[in-house]
């Protein structure tokens, strides 16, 4: 569906009628700002134009309030309207649309396939014999294939339900969300280091049927921790970002008179794009 066009008009604030409530430290708690809208003849055009042109937030520093509703107060002439932009009470600068984001966390166990031990504990053989040294490779079969093993692995994911006005949920912002989906944080994000958070995607919609209703959007993230000093056989990998992919190249080797498998190379590959998550704050 094509994006609805916004009729052209003009808007000026009525500065003498601005209403603001502050706390004891001078931080803004709420506000109602009045405007005159000119050159439009229908309520729908007036509301759409006002939503697209009034500030999305008011305040600075430690406290910000976000746009909630825009209402028509009075029709003064055929083409002049008085409107009120409401910025309801906020509890933190991380709020969007005047409502506190909802946060949820999921820590669960899943299966992870590994081919090499973190630490080789020991090798055992019948008396008088020596077990072949596979350098930590796991489940090496008679054909010298490294089969590995599935282990339990911790999976951490979290989501944030955010609230946006119709003007904030613009085509440009939707395009930004689409571009960021499937990318990894290039800088620190929500306390996690660069390289540890994957933006899985976003879903949701407008909670009502009018442009004054807010959008309820859930952002979904997955976490994979960065690692340093990874030891595989005689090879040390100084570092690997959480969402980079590590794989091991094995080759036949001889231990005494027995054929074994040894890691001859380890590769770390970047498989996701890295991007700033500032638009998700």
Quote the longest CA-to-CA distance of the chain. Answer: 105
- Alpha-carbon span 193 to 231, nearest angstrom: 22
pTM for this structure?
A: 0.57
pLDDT for the residue numbered 60: 66
Angle at 272 between CA 269 and CA 274, to 5 degrees: 110
Asked whether residue 169 carries a pLDDT value surpassing 50, the answer given is yes
Host H or E run for residue 52: helix 43-53
Could you tell me what percent of the chain has a pLDDT over 90?
38
- Which of the given ranges, 17-26, 163-172, 184-193, 246-255, has the highest pLDDT on average? 184-193
Residue 102 vs residues 89, 98, 201, 278: alpha-carbon distances, Å? 17, 13, 16, 18
Answer whether 120's CB lies under 8 Å from 135's CB.
Answer: yes
Mean pLDDT score across all residues of the chain: 83
- Please tell me whether residue 214 adopts helix, strand or coil conformation: coil
List the single range of 33-47, 170-184, 234-248, 253-267 with lowest mean pLDDT: 253-267
Please give the average per-residue pLDDT across 28-45, as a whole number. Answer: 92
At 225, list the tokens.
Answer: 């921790």
Q: How far is CA 3 from the centre of its chain?
A: 26
**pLDDT tens across 232-241, in order?**
888 899 999 9
In the predicted structure, residue 274 carries a pLDDT above the cut 90? yes
Domain ranges of the chain: 8-100
Is pLDDT of 23 > 80? no
Nearest to 116 by CA among 140, 152, 141, 144: 140
pLDDT bracket for residue 149 (50, 70, 90): confident
Closest CA to 232 of 245, 243, 251, 248: 248
Residue 88 pLDDT > 80: no
Confidence of residue 4 (pLDDT cuts 50, 70, 90): low
């Amino acid at each position: 569906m094509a994006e609805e066009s916004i009729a052209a008009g003009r808007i000026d604030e009525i500065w003498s009628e601005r209403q603001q409530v502050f706390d004891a430290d001078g931080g803004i708690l709420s506000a109602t700002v009045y405007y005159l809208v000119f050159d439009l003849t229908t309520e729908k055009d007036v509301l759409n134009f006002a939503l697209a042109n009034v500030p999305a937030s008011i305040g600075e520093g430690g406290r910000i309030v976000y746009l909630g509703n825009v209402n028509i107060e009075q029709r003064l002439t055929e083409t002049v309207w008085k409107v009120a932009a409401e910025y309801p009470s906020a509890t933190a600068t991380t709020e969007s649309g005047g409502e506190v984001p909802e946060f949820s966390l999921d820590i669960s166990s899943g299966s992870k396939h590994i081919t090499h031990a973190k630490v080789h504990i020991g090798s055992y053989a019948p008396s008088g014999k020596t077990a072949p040294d596979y350098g930590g490779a796991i489940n090496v079969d008679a054909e010298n294939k490294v089969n590995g093993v599935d282990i339990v692995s911790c999976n951490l994911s979290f989501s944030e339900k955010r609230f946006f006005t119709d003007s904030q949920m613009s085509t440009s912002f939707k395009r930004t969300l689409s571009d960021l989906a499937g990318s990894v944080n290039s800088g620190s994000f929500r306390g996690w280091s660069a390289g540890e958070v994957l933006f899985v995607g976003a879903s949701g919609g407008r909670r009502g049927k009018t442009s004054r209703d807010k959008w309820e959007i859930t952002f979904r993230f997955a976490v994979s921790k960065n690692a340093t000093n990874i030891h595989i056989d005689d090879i040390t990998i100084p570092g690997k970002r959480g969402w980079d992919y590590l794989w091991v190249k094995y080759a036949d080797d001889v231990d005494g008179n027995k054929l074994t498998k040894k890691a001859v190379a380890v590769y770390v590959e970047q498989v996701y794009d890295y991007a700033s998550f500032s638009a998700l704050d």
